[in-house]
Structure 1
Amino acid sequence: MSTKEKNHAQEDVQKEQFAQNVENVHSETSGQEEVQGAETEEKIEAEESQEQTAEEKLEKELETVKKLVEDQKDKYLRLSAEFDNYRKRTLKEKAELIKNGGEKAISSILPVLDDLERALQNMQKAEDVKAIYDGVDLIYQKFLKSLSHEGLKKIEPVGESFDTDYHEAIALVPAPSEDQKGKVLDCVQTGYTLNDKVIRHAKVVVAQ
């Protein structure tokens, strides 16, 4: 075989080896791409599965929140209705109390009114002034007793130290003695308390 033929033969061998190497590289590359493709698909599927799980969890939480909101809304509506009924009932009771609050007190003094009517009838016939006075005094004491049952009390100021919480000074006079300074000497108009609350101050004369 000539040198030229040998060279051609070597070139053919080299070409075959190059082609084989290229084929091997292509085969390896294809295998790696297939493996990478499979891994990518698995990764995508895993991500999609996680997303679905997160969405399901979010939907459950949303349903729970919606249910809670509905429950709270129902409770609020019930409470609002109950409060409105309570307010209306309270206003009605208050109006009735204002309208008829004096019924008990009026009922308690009706017997006194009856006594006054009888006293007036007897006064037309009576000639004994002392008897008339005693009768009126009895009616007065009965009237005070009836009012005391309702919590009314007289303020007894004479001889007491002047107190602006209970007394109203209408005059100042020189004290008869040193120990009477600042004390009440006389009561011009009786004061009253109702259940320990002053409803009318006693008008008094004070020593100074």
Structure 2
Amino acid sequence: MVKEAVEEAKKAASEAEAEKPEAEAEEQKSSEEAAEQAEADKEEASEGKKGKLFGKKKKDKKDEKIEELTDRLTRQMAEFDNFRKRTEKEKSQMYEIGAKDIIEKILPVVDNFERGLAAVAEDDKEDPFVQGMDKIYKQLMTTLDGIGVKPIEAVGQEFNPDFHNAVMHEENEEAGENTITEEFQKGYMYRDSVVRHSMVKVAN
């Protein structure tokens, strides 16, 4: 009986020893599967994160409409601003042209005043009528100066075709080269543009 008990114990130990490698193999297999599953879950989570970061979210129709209307409004505002600037520039140019045209018509009156006053004899300069004409002439010149009309300097200046119109030439040793020695008709500028060139004589 004792012998049978010993045999059974040996058999049980032998079976337990045989089952041990199988259990270890099963445990190792389970560990490997768990590791693989964890790696797969990690990759899936990473892909999901990338999708959130780089994926394009579909826009709502309302947002698209708002963007479209905003873009259209911005373009129209820019077009209106360009139109306003262009209109202001054209208005300014039209004003300049109109003002120059009127000034050009007034200048012959100024010329006649100057010729008339220059022809007055010294004895007649105290005459009330002559003094009255002189005051009107000065008032006219002050008004023209106030709106930006200035006479062009000529005598003693170097000839400049932008401001002067040479109608005569002379050799004059006392005058410098290309110098204006005489003015036949006074020239005028309106702001930065010439209304009438000075008619002059140029030396050398």
TM-score normalised by structure 2 residue count:
0.54
Alignment partner of 1:147 out of 128, 131, 144? 144
Deviation at 1:140, TM superposition (A): 5.2
Q: Tell me if 1:173 matches 2:149.
A: no
Q: Tell me if 1:48 matches 2:44.
A: yes
How far apart in 2 are the matches of 1:191 and 1:161? Answer: 13
Show the counterpart of 1:89. Answer: 84
Q: Tell me if 1:191 matches 2:191.
A: no
How far apart in 2 are the matches of 1:52 and 1:201? Answer: 82
SS in 2 for 1:44: helix
Alignment partner of 1:30 out of 26, 32, 40? 26
The answer on whether the counterparts of 1:193 and 1:199 sit within 8 Å (CA) in structure 2 is: yes
Given residue 157 of structure 1, which amino acid in structure 2 is its aligned partner?
A
Given residue 150 of structure 1, which amino acid in structure 2 is its aligned partner?
I
Percent of pairs identical after alignment?
24
The answer on whether the counterparts of 2:159 and 2:202 sit within 8 Å (CA) in structure 1 is: no
Distance 1:179 1:36, change over 3 A: same
The answer on whether the counterparts of 1:189 and 1:203 sit within 8 Å (CA) in structure 2 is: yes
The answer on whether the counterparts of 1:105 and 1:147 sit within 8 Å (CA) in structure 2 is: no
Deviation at 1:74, TM superposition (A): 7.4
Deviation at 1:199, TM superposition (A): 3.8
Deviation at 1:75, TM superposition (A): 6.7
Q: 1:165-188 CA deviation, whole Å, 9 max, x = no partner?
A: 53332222232xx42354433222
Matched pairs, number: 164
SS in 2 for 1:170: strand
Q: 1:23-77 CA deviation, whole Å, 9 max, x = no partner?
A: 5544433332223223322332333233333333445xx55xx9xx989987755
The answer on whether the counterparts of 1:188 and 1:203 sit within 8 Å (CA) in structure 2 is: yes
SS in 2 for 1:180: coil
Given residue 83 of structure 2, which amino acid in structure 1 is its aligned partner?
K
SS in 2 for 1:179: coil
The answer on whether the counterparts of 1:151 and 1:194 sit within 8 Å (CA) in structure 2 is: yes
How far apart in 2 are the matches of 1:106 and 1:23? Answer: 122
- Mind listing any 5+ residue stretches in structure 1 that lack a counterpart? 1-16, 114-130
1:59-74 aligned within 5 A: 59=55, 62=56
- Structure 1 vs Structure 2 CA RMSD: 4.6
The answer on whether the counterparts of 1:169 and 1:206 sit within 8 Å (CA) in structure 2 is: yes
SS in 1 for 2:158: coil
Given residue 92 of structure 1, which amino acid in structure 2 is its aligned partner?
T
Deviation at 1:103, TM superposition (A): 6.5
